[in-house]
Amino acid sequence: MNKIKNLADLKKLQSEVQSKIKLRENGNHPESVVQIKVSMATCGIASGAKEIMTYMIDELDHQGIDSVVTQTGCMGYCYAEPTIELTIPGQQPVVYGFVTKTKAHEIIEKHIKLNEMLDGIIPVTYLLIDN
């Protein structure tokens, strides 16, 4: 990585990153892929988020489903750890709680492959500052 030398450099990098993310979430683009974020703060990891993340990566890879699985911080739903956020290209993100391996398997088989939502979605009930 070259160092960011000035504000213009920073802005340029910012818009590059933003368009990359848009590309990933935009439905009708060949590059668009399923995106999964696993909540991996201490609490999430303690409830088994690491195993779920590994399982998801392996299983999606094994089934040849084009996807990006990343870690993220605490989503705040401590009562429902491990939690994941699933974004199908062109759709609103959906949060699932209490994700066990069985549940993760179900999410892949039903939601990702058949676009069928599963019971137990956690409704997101806060405002974000960018909207």
Partner 1 sequence: MAEYTMHILVCGGTGCKASQSELIKSNFKTRLNEYGLGDEIQVVLTGCFGFCEKGPIVKILPDNTFYTQVTPEDVSEIIDEHIIKGRQVERLLYKDPETKKTVGTANGMDFYKKQIRIALRNCGFINPENIEEYIGRDGYGALGICLTEKSPDDVIRIVKESGLRGRGGGGFPTGLKWELTRKSVSDQKYVVCNADEGDPGAFMDRSILEGDPHSVIEAMAICGYCIGADKGLVYIRAEYPLAIERLKIAIRQACEYGLLGDGILGTDFNFNIEIRYGAGAFVCGEETALIHSMEGHRGEPSVKPPFPAEKGYNGKPTNVNNVETFANIPVIINKGSAWFASIGTEKSKGTKVFALAGNINNVGLIEVPMGITLREIIYDIGGGIKDGREFKAVQTGGPSGGCLTKSFLDTPIDYDNLVAAGSMMGSGGMIVLDDTSCMVAIAKFYLEFTLDESCGKCTPCRIGNKRLYEILEKITDGKGTKEDLSRLRMLSNVIKDTSLCGLGQTSPNPVLSTLDHFYDEYLAHVTTSSCPAGQCKALVHYTIDAEHCTGCTLCFRNCPVGAISGEKRSAHYIDQSLCIKCGVCFEKCKFDAVLIA
Residue 11 interacting with partner 1 (CB under 8 A): yes
Find the distance separating the first CA and the last CA of the chain, reported in whole Å.
31
The H or E element that residue 85 is part of is strand 84-87
**Residues 84 to 113: which contact partner 1 by CB under 8 A?**
85, 92, 97
The verdict on 27 binding partner 1 (CB under 8 A) reads no
User: Counting beta carbons within 10 angstroms of the beta carbon of residue 25, is it exposed (0 to 12), middle (13 to 18) or buried (19 or more)?
Assistant: middle
Site for partner 1 in 36-55 (CB under 8 A): 37, 39-43, 45
Output the furthest CA–CA distance in the chain (Å, rounded): 49
Binding to partner 1 by residue 119, rule CB under 8 A?
yes
CA-to-CA dists, residue 6 to 12, 15, 33, angstroms: 10, 15, 33
Could you say which of 33, 36, 49, 75 contacts partner 1 (CB under 8 A)? 75
Binding site residues, partner 1, CB under 8 A: 1, 3-7, 9-11, 13-14, 17-18, 20-21, 37, 39-43, 45, 70-80, 85, 92, 97, 114-123, 125-130
